[in-house]
């Protein structure tokens, strides 16, 4: 694993490991945490499920009847399964820094995973709770049990509009890849919103609030936000963010990555199969992946092999031939809504390096 912060256990997965599995095993899944739950520092260091049975989720805020949902309540409800990409909003940040330095861990493409989740639909939980939200409760805020070590520090809290269509597919996940969710990945209960960046999928879910406005928490109002209009690299700072000129890192941009060959692979001249994955927010199918073997001068259409549902990795491949020498391989995915990857991803430069979706580039030497 590639370590970005040893103290917090922040790490990404080398693509040479990711490509070995369609469903990413917990042992190699990337990790991005800010703070552990109070008194649970050990949860940072284990892929074991947390040994808790009395976990509770409070549903309150602007409601008539606040309720508490227990872990047993969730287990007794109808479970659903889905396969979805989990991706850090900073995945690809390293590539923004090639234009102008951006803050945070310099992730390449390993801040992602393809995971099977199992749990209870969020809408079903809210319906069962029957809390009676007020007419002016326009936001749902999800709060985890993480706790900042600073006396007045904010923990990670996320807000979504009540009518957000992505919440229709959200679940309170209890299992990951067929077993209880590991502590380090948000168990025992994690909010999973397929198609949304990882920070929006609140770990250690402990509270759901109905509110009139989105949370003022710095993690909602300042951090994990994408500017609405292009900014000149290096001129816009984190302090310049506000809720008017930026939006939270909600839905994935259309993206594709080359899994084979990578720069470190030994490739012989002649026939070769270039392989990779593509994904988006699930609103529309991936309809094309174009691949170039000469840095973007000419392009070929790859075969899209598909995947396990609209939010999962869509595998693609291209059989071609490479001569001896150096080749710049590139790939660009597009979907049915016409959304595609820019050849130059730095056009969306921002000071925190969020939501990279530039065309992938892999330079390989063919023997």
pLDDT at 288: 98
The DSSP bridge pattern shows strands 314-322 and 270-279 to be antiparallel
Q: Give average pLDDT by consecutive 10-residue segment, the chain, 367 residues.
A: 91 98 98 89 87 94 98 98 98 97 95 98 98 97 91 88 98 98 97 98 98 94 91 87 92 98 97 98 98 97 97 98 98 98 96 97 97
- Cα(133)–Cα(352) distance, rounded to whole angstroms? 35
Task: Based on the fold, state whether residues 142 and 274 are members of the same structural domain.
Answer: no
> Residues 122, 128, 131, 133: what is their CA dihedral angle, to the nearest 10 degrees?
50
Q: What would the two tokens of residue 122 be?
A: 């969020």
Task: Based on the fold, state whether residues 68 and 106 are members of the same structural domain.
Answer: yes
Residue 256, classed as helix, strand or coil, is strand
- Cα(162)–Cα(141) distance, rounded to whole angstroms? 9
Q: If DSSP states are collapsed to H, E and C, what string results for 323-356? A: CCEEEEEEEEEEECCCCECCCCHHHHCCCCCCCC
Q: Return the H-helix or E-strand segment holding 278.
A: strand 270-279
Q: Residues 110, 113, 114, CA angle at the centre, nearest 5°?
A: 145
pLDDT at 185: 96
Q: Which residues contact 324 (CB under 8 A, 6 or more apart)?
A: 269, 366, 367
- Cα(52)–Cα(278) distance, rounded to whole angstroms? 37
- Cα(168)–Cα(145) distance, rounded to whole angstroms? 24
Alpha-carbon distance values, 262 to 17, 137, 268, 282 (Å)? 12, 49, 13, 27
Domain termination site, one of 186, 221, 248: 248
Task: Based on the fold, state whether residues 333 and 227 are members of the same structural domain.
Answer: no
CATH number for 275:
2.60.40.650
Domain termination site, one of 248, 268, 297: 248
Domain count, the chain: 2
Task: Based on the fold, state whether residues 292 and 176 are members of the same structural domain.
Answer: no
Q: Specify whether the CB–CB gap between 359 and 332 falls below 8 A.
A: yes
Task: Based on the fold, state whether residues 222 and 259 are members of the same structural domain.
Answer: no
Task: Based on the fold, state whether residues 135 and 195 are members of the same structural domain.
Answer: yes
Mark residue 86 as left, alpha or beta (left: phi above 0; alpha: psi -120 to 50; beta: remaining): beta
Task: Based on the fold, state whether residues 230 and 147 are members of the same structural domain.
Answer: yes
Task: Based on the fold, state whether residues 117 and 164 are members of the same structural domain.
Answer: yes
Domain termination site, one of 233, 248, 263: 248
pLDDT at 181: 98
Mean per-residue pLDDT over the chain, rounded: 96
> In sequence order, what are the beta bridge partners of 326?
365
CATH number for 218:
3.90.420.10
Task: Based on the fold, state whether residues 222 and 293 are members of the same structural domain.
Answer: no
- Cα(362)–Cα(331) distance, rounded to whole angstroms? 9
- Cα(2)–Cα(109) distance, rounded to whole angstroms? 11
| pTM for the whole structure | 0.96
Task: Based on the fold, state whether residues 31 and 162 are members of the same structural domain.
Answer: yes
Task: Based on the fold, state whether residues 149 and 82 are members of the same structural domain.
Answer: yes
DSSP 267: B
Cis before residue 261, ω within 30 degrees of 0?
yes
pLDDT at 21: 98
- Cα(9)–Cα(296) distance, rounded to whole angstroms? 37
Q: Which of 75, 82, 76, 90 is nearest to 30 (CA)?
A: 90
Task: Based on the fold, state whether residues 243 and 259 are members of the same structural domain.
Answer: no
Count of residues in the chain: 367
What's the domain range around 99?
2-248
Burial of 282 (0-12, 13-18, 19+ CB in 10 A): buried
């Amino acid at each position: 694993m590639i370590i970005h912060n040893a103290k917090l256990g922040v790490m990404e997965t080398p693509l040479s490991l990711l490509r070995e599995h369609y469903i990413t095993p917990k042992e190699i899944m990337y990790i991005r945490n800010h703070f552990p739950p109070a008194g649970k520092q050990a949860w940072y260091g284990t892929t074991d499920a947390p040994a808790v049975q009395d976990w509770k989720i409070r549903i309150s805020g602007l409601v008539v009847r606040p309720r508490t949902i227990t872990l047993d309540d969730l287990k007794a409800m109808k479970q659903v399964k889905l396969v979805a990409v989990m991706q850090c909003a900073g995945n690809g940040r390293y590539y923004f820094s090639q234009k102008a330095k951006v803050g945070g861990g310099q992730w390449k493409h390993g801040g992602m995973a393809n995971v099977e989740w199992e749990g209870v639909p969020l809408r079903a939980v809210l319906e069962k709770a029957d809390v009676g939200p007020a007419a002016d409760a326009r936001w749902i805020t999800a709060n985890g049990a993480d706790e900042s070590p600073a006396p007045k520090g904010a923990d990670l809290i996320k807000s979504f509009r009540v009518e957000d269509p992505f919440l229709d597919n959200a679940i309170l996940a209890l299992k990951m890849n067929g077993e209880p969710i590991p502590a380090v990945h948000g168990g025992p209960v994690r909010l999973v919103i397929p198609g949304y960046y990882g920070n929006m999928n609140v770990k250690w879910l402990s509270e759901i609030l109905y509110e009139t406005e989105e949370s003022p928490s710095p993690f909602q109002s300042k951090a994990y936000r994408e500017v609405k209009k292009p900014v000149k690299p290096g001129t816009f700072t984190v302090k310049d963010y506000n809720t008017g000129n930026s939006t939270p890192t909600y839905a994935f941009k259309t993206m594709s990555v080359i899994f084979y060959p990578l720069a470190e692979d030994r490739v012989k001249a002649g026939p070769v199969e270039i392989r990779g994955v593509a994904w988006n927010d699930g609103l529309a199918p991936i309809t094309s992946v174009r691949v170039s073997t000469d840095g973007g001068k000419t392009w070929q259409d790859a075969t899209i092999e598909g995947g396990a549902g609209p939010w999962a990795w869509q595998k693609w491949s291209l059989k071609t031939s490479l001569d001896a020498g150096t080749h710049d391989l590139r790939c660009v995915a597009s979907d049915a809504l016409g959304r595609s990857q820019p050849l130059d991803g730095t056009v969306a430069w921002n000071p925190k390096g969020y939501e990279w979706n530039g065309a992938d580039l892999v330079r390989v030497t063919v023997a």
